């Protein structure tokens, strides 16, 4: 692939979270989460356009009131990736970056690394990023881990601690929920049914590996806190309001 101006950033967001209903519009230090995500992503100089993708009229109205680009998507999509696919298809994008709507600590440097990884090799169709994980994080099912080959391509993603530490102390990798895709990869993902391992782990990216699509992975020194619970929301607010060290 080659860098293209037809690259868009898409932020999937929905109000119907089971663990934290209405979370995109919850305030974090006085700013709604979805606005924080948009600000962080839009600050990336490699993203010419960033759009919120939602099936919620409430989120759409919020975005319109703040001049945040928003695209209304079908309520029938089973995943955020499918929302990204719809927006990329309807806007004619050649490639797309998926910025999860519950990642208020996203930084432009992270998105830059992600885009650079997508366009680094002609045969790369999907890219993602990771950071170092502690042993405690590796043991937590809420944290997705990955292992990679010598080229930095994903071998597997899991909620289990991988690799298994039978000997030594592995350098665990924490997967961060940001992706960049070619349009072809997005079209394929949307057309395929969920893969068995994807359904067991509840990790969408395993659908690509099931079909033999390589995922290029790059390290970032930055970590995030994905907001799934009220405790996560409190932790993000603590981080954002703490004095810099």
**DSSP-assigned letters across all residues of 102-155:** T-TT--HHHHHHHHHHHHSSTT--EEEEEEE--HHHHH-TTS-EEEE-TTSBEE
Give residue 2's pLDDT: 47
Helix (H, G, I), strand (E, B) or coil at 228: coil
pLDDT digits (tens, 9 = 90+) for 10-51: 999 999 877 888 999 999 999 999 999 999 999 999 999 999
Average pLDDT over residues 180-194: 97
pLDDT averaged over every residue in the chain? 94
The Cα–Cα gap between 47 and 39 comes to 12
Q: What is the pLDDT of residues 218-228, one digit of tens each?
A: 999 999 999 98
Q: In 3-state terms, what secondary structure has residue 239?
A: helix
Structure-block tokens of residue 15: 């109000």
- Residues 57-115 pLDDT 10s: 999 999 999 999 999 999 999 999 999 999 999 999 999 999 999 999 999 999 999 99
Write down the pLDDT at residue 37: 97
Q: What's the pTM?
A: 0.93
**Of the candidate ranges 16-20, 132-136, 175-179, 226-230, the one whose mean pLDDT is the lowest:** 16-20
Q: In this predicted structure, what is the pLDDT of residue 1?
A: 46
Distance CA 53, CA 98 (A): 10
The helix-helix angle for 80-91 and 183-191 (nearest 10°) equals 130
In this predicted structure, the answer to whether residue 128 has a pLDDT above a threshold of 60 is yes
Hey, what domains does the chain have and what are their CATH numbers? 7-232 (3.90.550.10)
């Amino acid at each position: 692939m080659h860098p293209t101006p037809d690259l868009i950033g898409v932020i999937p967001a929905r109000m119907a979270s089971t663990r934290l209903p209405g979370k995109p519009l919850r305030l974090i230090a006085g700013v709604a989460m979805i606005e924080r995500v948009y600000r962080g992503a839009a600050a990336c100089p490699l993203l010419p356009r960033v759009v919120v993708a939602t099936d919620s009229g409430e989120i759409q109205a919020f975005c319109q009131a703040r001049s945040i680009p928003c695209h209304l998507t079908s309520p029938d999509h089973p995943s955020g990736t499918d929302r990204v696919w719809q927006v990329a298809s309807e806007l004619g994008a050649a490639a797309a970056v998926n910025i999860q709507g519950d990642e208020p600590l996203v930084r432009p440097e992270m998105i830059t690394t992600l885009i650079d990884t997508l366009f680094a090799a002609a045969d790369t169709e999907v890219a993602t990023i990771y950071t170092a994980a502690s042993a405690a994080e590796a043991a937590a099912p809420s944290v997705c881990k990955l292992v990679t080959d010598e080229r930095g391509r994903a071998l597997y993603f899991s909620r289990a601690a991988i690799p298994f530490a039978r000997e030594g102390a592995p350098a665990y990798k924490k997967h961060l929920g940001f992706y960049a895709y070619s349009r072809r990869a997005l079209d394929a993902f949307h057309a395929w049914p969920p893969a068995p391992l994807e359904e067991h782990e509840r990790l969408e990216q395993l659908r690509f590996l099931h079909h033999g699509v390589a995922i290029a992975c790059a390290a970032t020194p930055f970590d995030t806190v994905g907001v799934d619970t009220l405790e996560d929301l409190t932790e993000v607010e603590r981080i954002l309001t703490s004095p810099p060290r």
